[in-house]
Structure 1
Amino acid sequence: MAYRILVVGAGAVGGYFGARLAQAGRDVTFVVRPGRADQIRRDGIRVRSRHGDLNLTPKITTAAELAEPYDLVLLSVKGFALDAALDDVAAAIGPASVVLPVLNGMRHMDRLAERFGTGPVLGGVCMVATELDSDGQIIQLADIQKLIYGELGGELTERIERVDEAIRGAGFDAAISPDIVQAMWEKWVMLASLGAACCLLRGSVGEIVGVPGGTQVARAILDESVAVARVSGHPPSPAFMQRTVSMMTAPGSPQTSSMYRDLLKGGEVEVDPIIGDLVLRADRAGVEVPLLRAASVNLSVYSARREAERGR
């Protein structure tokens, strides 16, 4: 029997990896909202990538149509859409199902455990820079395209090997991690630091470090994030620190965070799960994070104003 994969959402991340899996012949179905379903039925899923463009008409369904469990549920929504997504996919998660979340931060892990228990949940990290354009196309912005996944306890189980078999060899990098929780924390530190720097200082990495004091502020934001990870029992590795410092202080770099790109477009931003949750953990541990707090408040003000304007 085919290993059935349900991809929750067909946005920039889920659409990209799901399309690659479908192209590679995996049994993939996307569960999407009615508006996105109409768009995909009309135009298909279109990926524009330096690794090869895709135009395909995949299997899609809506939450109302889900009636039986899937083997693997790839959860790839934004943090602010998590609760609605969990309601949508409840019927697809059975006793033998495995849930692979690739959301940012760690708060979603608690929500998944509350809803479905810890049994079906893996840890996951995606590394990709993609966005949806105004026509619903998925545009890849950088070369990196990787999924890593693992059991939360680090064991090499039969089910994680089946997940690996289903994902590996689908046109992107994929691997089992022996310490996926550490990998999730390191990605969180990187995303929160880059997002806080870009959104608070309103610029790309190159623009930030190109002005007096920019490099020092970028480093200070990273140091705050690292301090929270350290007190939480997940100090980043020296190799991670070397890569991340280099990335956040590279002269002339056009790199920005997805949160900053969403901000510039006037879209909804993932402030609470990425930056706000780090600030909450810092407060509980007695760690001072003034720059992260400033970024969190700044983005919360933006979000509140955006909601007020939408409600008029």
Structure 2
Amino acid sequence: MLQVQSLTHYYKKDKAVLRDINLNLSQGIVGLLGKNGAGKSSLMNILATLQKPTQGEVLWKGESIIRKPQHLRQELGYLPQYFGVYDELTTIEFLSYISDLKQLDTKTSRSRIDTLLESLNLTHVAHFPLSSYSGGMRQRVGIAQALLNNPALLIVDEPTVGLDPEERNQFKNMLAELAADRLILLSTHIVSDIESIADSIAIMNHGQLNWFDSADALKRAAQHQVWELQVSTNRYAELKSTQTVAHAERNELGYLLKIVSGDQPDENARAVVPTLEDAYLAVNRAAQETLA
């Protein structure tokens, strides 16, 4: 459905924010992971037809979205990281306005708005002005506007920011249901947001794509790179500066550490089964070592 070919983008002549990105994506959920500044938002902006790349091509169902952005926009839903609303409008007024921009007919618009308000738990505040909404409620409105046209490609950038744990769980369940017949690209730096729902994982670091495969394959690749080690408080202070410490749990003996390392960090360290977050840290560690 979506092909990214040799995509490179510069903000300045000597500052590449994307470097030779290649991806072939079909339906399902793709989790895009990376630190702040890794290039995720730049890639999202190009895929959402908001920005043209310096080099490369992006095809949607075989057609260039760089030369013909409207070809994708009719089937695109997009929630940017920073989503603004018109404070004086109610949710229904705002979503009706977005429906007009997306050229939905009146009957379809009303039906979609009612369905989304219900599924996102916004029906009871639908006639309140958006100025009265909390950050989490505004985020849910942003999710609703992205889904209005029932898009074949849904791009969401840090979608769970401002949501409480229950809202985050509801949103993940919704995405899992939606992914049955469309492509969803979900960018986040919170690994737990995608651990249970992503069909594949793409990891970016310094504008490059360092990994693209299934979550299970990522965890398999990190086998024998995650270690558990009990240390004293003083030893912990030493290891923090020399090792990638994924987790530290304080106890009566000092700290129980989980360390991501290609080599056994200590003769007393024992290998443990990696989580998706451990595996993500392992990929980033390897990328940093390559750059060094």
Q: Please confirm whether the aligned pair reaches a TM-score higher than 0.5, indicating the same fold.
A: no
Greater Cα radius of gyration, structure 1 or 2: 2
TM-score by length of 2: 0.29
Higher RCO, 1 or 2 (CA under 8 Å, sep at least 6)? 2
Indicate the structure with greater helix content. Answer: 1
TM-score w.r.t. the length of structure 1 is 0.28
